[in-house]
Amino acid sequence: MIRVEDDGPVRIVTLDRPAKRNALTPGALDELARVFGAGTESSDCRAYLLRGTGRVFCSGFDLDLCRDDGPEQNIMRSFLEGLSRAILAMRSSDRPVVLAAHGAAIAGGCALLGGADVVVADRGAKLGYPVVRLGISPAVSAPFLLESAGAGATRRRLLDPALFDGAEGARIGLVHELVEGREDVGPRAHEIARSLAAKPALAMKATKKWAMEVGGEKKMPGRAGRALEASLSLVSGDEAVERLVGLWKK
């Protein structure tokens, strides 16, 4: 479901599963981690654009895949591990990542925003982390959301399963540029990615690296690891299993 193509110096990574609202699979997350972690030395890539086809950017994990998961919840585990790896790979890339969050970025889809350097969304986009309803912790997003939105908004948004709109996302610092319509998001994000790709490569590389370093990125793998642990510790507990099984009974 991940399509990768180069538009000159912009490497476009597309979630391409519109019939399932670009719901993520463990394989897709592995692929994202691979694409962003591959390094750019041997290519002309100067910037990434991450986007989705269809009505929305991404509706989160494809929970249908968990339907036949065993008591160990191995599929849910691979989802959470893959998500954490994909976000860290986006952040550690030496090229800037622009993300087009059009229409909706929910749960694991919203978590991907934590890996991007520049996030564009439409004013009415549906954002949020409604996973506590499933007995799952949105912990994986915590270290990244803390960085962009601060501790107050992070607490508010991770504990409350209610969705919020793109405008609120911009207010708290999760979204960096707002456009009016969902159809405007992709073109604007593409335009930003092109303009970043056209800037002097050495300066861009040094600036991303330094901005990450002064932002405390060295501590991030450790914090992300603790967050992943917190999330994994729940998945085979009674609450999560009961609530996930409840999904299929509806």
Cα dihedral across residues 7, 116, 110, 4: positive or negative: positive
Burial class (CB in 10 A: 0-12, 13-18, 19+), 127: buried
- When asked if residue 133 is in the footprint of other proteins (CB under 8 A), the reply is yes
| Cβ 145 vs Cβ 173: under 8 Å | no
Binding part of the chain for other proteins, among 15-23, 100-108, 116-124, 221-229 by CB under 8 A, reads 221-229
Q: How far is the CB of 167 from other proteins (least distance, A)?
A: 13
Which is nearer to other proteins, 112 or 234 (by Cβ)? 234
Of 250, 249, 208, 240, nearest to 61 by C-alpha is 240
Is residue 239 at the binding interface for other proteins, with CB under 8 A as the rule?
yes
Strand order in the sheet with 118-122: 2-7, 10-15, 47-52, 97-101, 118-122, 177-179
* Interacting residue with other proteins among 41, 42, 71, 152 (CB under 8 A): 152
131 belongs to the binding site for other proteins (CB under 8 A) = yes
Least Å from the CB of residue 151 to other proteins: 4
Is residue 220 close enough to count as binding other proteins by CB under 8 A? no
Cβ atoms 22, 109 nearer than 8 A: yes
Cα distance between residue 195 and residue 163, in whole Å: 32
Helices marked H in the chain:
26-37, 74-92, 108-111, 142-159, 166-172, 182-197, 201-214, 220-235, 238-249
59: contact with other proteins by CB under 8 A: no
- Within residues 162-181, the interface with other proteins by CB under 8 A covers 162, 172
Among 106, 118, 174, 227, binds other proteins (CB under 8 A): 227
83, 134, 193, 204: which one binds other proteins (CB under 8 A): 134
Query: At a CB cut-off of 8 Å and minimum separation 6, what does 45 contact?
Result: 6, 9, 10, 11, 95
The correct pick among 38, 132, 167, 212 for binding other proteins (CB under 8 A) is 132
Q: Is 154 in the site for other proteins (CB under 8 A)?
A: yes
Binding of other proteins by 247 (CB under 8 A) = no
Rank residues 37 and 173 by Cβ distance to other proteins and give the closer one. Answer: 173
Closest Cα to residue 100, out of 27, 182, 157? 182
Q: Is 135 in the site for other proteins (CB under 8 A)?
A: yes
Question: Which residues bind to other proteins, rule: CB under 8 A?
Answer: 131-139, 142-143, 146, 150-156, 158-162, 172, 223, 226-227, 230-231, 233-234, 237, 239-240, 243
